């Protein structure tokens, strides 16, 4: 497998000559991989995708596809499939004609093209819809046609630009699995852009978290969630409790952090020495009620709010001066002492409390 199937090499992009929307981007994508570019709007992820597709040119740097520099190749010669945000199906053509378009421009004989179209339609379970117009299909069906169209000419690379943004929640979730399974079954390389983190976590092999024109972290979904490398990623992916403080001491893979009126133990990730300012990040599910004595952080807090969520209860606690400390408590009968105003003990391992860069 080509480890550098897609390679962004020191790519900069600016639209107005004043602001860089993409800064010094360095990104390698392996062949057959499903990579998601995740980030808030304006973080430069869509710009990256458009540069890869050929609709924008890098201001500086070069993009390589399978070893070839592609900056000077126009979009229609790149052979990259693309699924657009609003499907971009051709409204005056039937589903069949939409799928036949990329094959016709490639001068593929009709009988071969028909076979490919049949295959692509069955891949998205839309056999029998070939003669419908896009306007006669539901949103989910249109999305599937768009996916089938991007794959029908067997591209090596498919780009997807927030393709599920317009669908409702249930449909979105089932489409996520469907796209994931298509990717697994045909092994095409996919670059996917979204601002929805659960979508990214569900589908991807690797996720590139974008912020401020830069890749903040590129790693697998579990690593991204469990081991964020900076406070932006920690904040952006999943829920997060934070404490701002100053490092008092670092030793043996642990550090002591001084908060406004207490001290906690944490895992030093991006702090190097004493006196550094830091933000300590802790996932809600890593903090426990009624902790065992082995934990090296045990503190008392007051319950400020209890929100029932079906399978779990969210509890907001005022802990060590942070009144927004969130706990997720599984709904089982042993947790009946959770009442508004109660004082409870909370504990966590210092390994799970990651001392990151200050915000």
Task: Identify which range of 16-24, 48-56, 170-178, 248-256 contacts another protein by CB under 8 A.
Answer: 48-56
Q: Which helix (H) or strand (E) holds 297?
A: strand 297-308
Q: Which helix (H) or strand (E) holds 114?
A: helix 110-123
- Output the smallest distance, CB 198 to another protein, in A: 25
**Cβ atoms < 10 Å from Cβ of 58:** 21
State yes or no: residue 79 binds another protein (CB under 8 A).
Answer: yes
Letters for 154-183 (x = contact with another protein by CB under 8 A, - = none) are: -----x------------------------
Q: At what angle do helices 139-151 and 110-123 cross, to 10 degrees?
A: 130
Q: Which is nearer to another protein, 79 or 347 (CB)?
A: 79
Letters for 4-43 (x = contact with another protein by CB under 8 A, - = none) are: ----------------------------------------
State yes or no: residue 225 binds another protein (CB under 8 A).
Answer: no
Contacts of 303 (CB under 8 A, 6+ apart): 315, 316, 317, 338, 339, 340, 341, 342, 343, 344
State yes or no: residue 117 binds another protein (CB under 8 A).
Answer: no
**DSSP states of 205-242 as a string?**
SEEEEEETTEEEEEE-HHHHHH--SSHHHHHHSS--EE
Choosing from 153, 210, 243, 325, the residue that interacts with another protein (CB under 8 A) is 153
Q: Which is nearer to another protein, 38 or 148 (CB)?
A: 148
Question: Is the sign of the CA dihedral 64, 65, 69, 74 positive or negative?
Answer: negative
Question: Do residues 58 and 4 touch, judged by C-beta distance below 8 A?
Answer: no
State yes or no: residue 358 binds another protein (CB under 8 A).
Answer: no
Q: Which is nearer to another protein, 143 or 281 (CB)?
A: 143
Task: Identify which range of 100-108, 245-253, 293-301, 308-316 contacts another protein by CB under 8 A.
Answer: 100-108
Question: For the chain, what percentages of helix, strand and coil (3-state, to nearest 5) are there?
Answer: 30, 35, 35
Q: Tell me the H-state helices in 254-351.
A: none
State yes or no: residue 109 binds another protein (CB under 8 A).
Answer: no
Question: Do residues 7 and 64 touch, judged by C-beta distance below 8 A?
Answer: yes
- Output the smallest distance, CB 103 to another protein, in A: 9
Q: Which is nearer to another protein, 6 or 218 (CB)?
A: 6
- Output the smallest distance, CB 101 to another protein, in A: 6
State yes or no: residue 205 binds another protein (CB under 8 A).
Answer: no
Letters for 132-151 (x = contact with another protein by CB under 8 A, - = none) are: -----------------xx-
Total residues belonging to the chain: 359
Q: Which residues bind another protein (CB under 8 A)?
A: 53-55, 74-82, 84-86, 88-92, 101-102, 105-106, 149-150, 153, 159
């Amino acid at each position: 497998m080509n480890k550098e199937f897609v390679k962004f090499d020191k790519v900069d992009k600016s639209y107005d000559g004043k602001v860089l929307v993409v800064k010094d981007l360095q990104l390698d994508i392996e062949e057959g991989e499903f990579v998601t570019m995740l980030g808030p709007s304006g973080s430069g992820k869509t710009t990256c995708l458009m540069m890869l597709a050929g609709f924008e040119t890098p201001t500086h740097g070069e993009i390589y596809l399978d070893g070839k520099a592609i900056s000077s190749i126009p979009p229609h010669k790149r052979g990259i499939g693309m699924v657009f945000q609003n499907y971009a199906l051709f409204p005056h053509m039937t589903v069949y004609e939409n799928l036949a378009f990329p094959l016709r421009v490639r001068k593929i004989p009709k009988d071969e093209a028909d076979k490919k179209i049949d295959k692509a339609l069955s891949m998205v379970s839309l056999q029998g819809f070939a003669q419908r117009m896009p306007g006669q299909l539901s949103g989910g069906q249109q999305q599937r046609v768009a996916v089938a169209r991007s794959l029908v000419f067997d591209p090596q690379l498919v780009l997807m630009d927030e393709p599920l943004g317009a669908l409702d929640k249930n449909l979105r979730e089932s489409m996520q699995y469907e796209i994931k399974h298509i990717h697994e079954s045909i092994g095409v390389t996919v670059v996917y852009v979204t601002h929805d983190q659960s979508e990214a976590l569900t589908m991807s092999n690797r996720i590139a978290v974008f912020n401020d024109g830069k890749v903040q972290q590129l790693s697998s979904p579990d690593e991204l969630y469990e081991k964020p490398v900076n406070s932006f990623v920690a904040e952006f992916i999943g829920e997060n409790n934070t404490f701002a403080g100053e490092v008092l001491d670092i030793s043996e893979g642990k550090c002591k952090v001084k908060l406004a009126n207490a001290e906690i133990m944490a895992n030093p990730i991006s702090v190097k020495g004493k006196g550094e300012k830091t933000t300590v990040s802790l996932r809600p599910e890593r903090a426990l009620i009624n902790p065992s004595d082995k934990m090296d952080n045990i503190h008392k807090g007051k319950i400020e709010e209890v929100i029932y969520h079906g399978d779990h209860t969210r509890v907001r606690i005022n802990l060590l001066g942070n009144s927004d400390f969130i706990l997720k408590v599984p709904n089982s009968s042993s947790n009946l002492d959770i009442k508004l105003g109660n004082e409870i003990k909370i504990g966590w391992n210092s390994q799970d409390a990651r001392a990151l860069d200050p915000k």
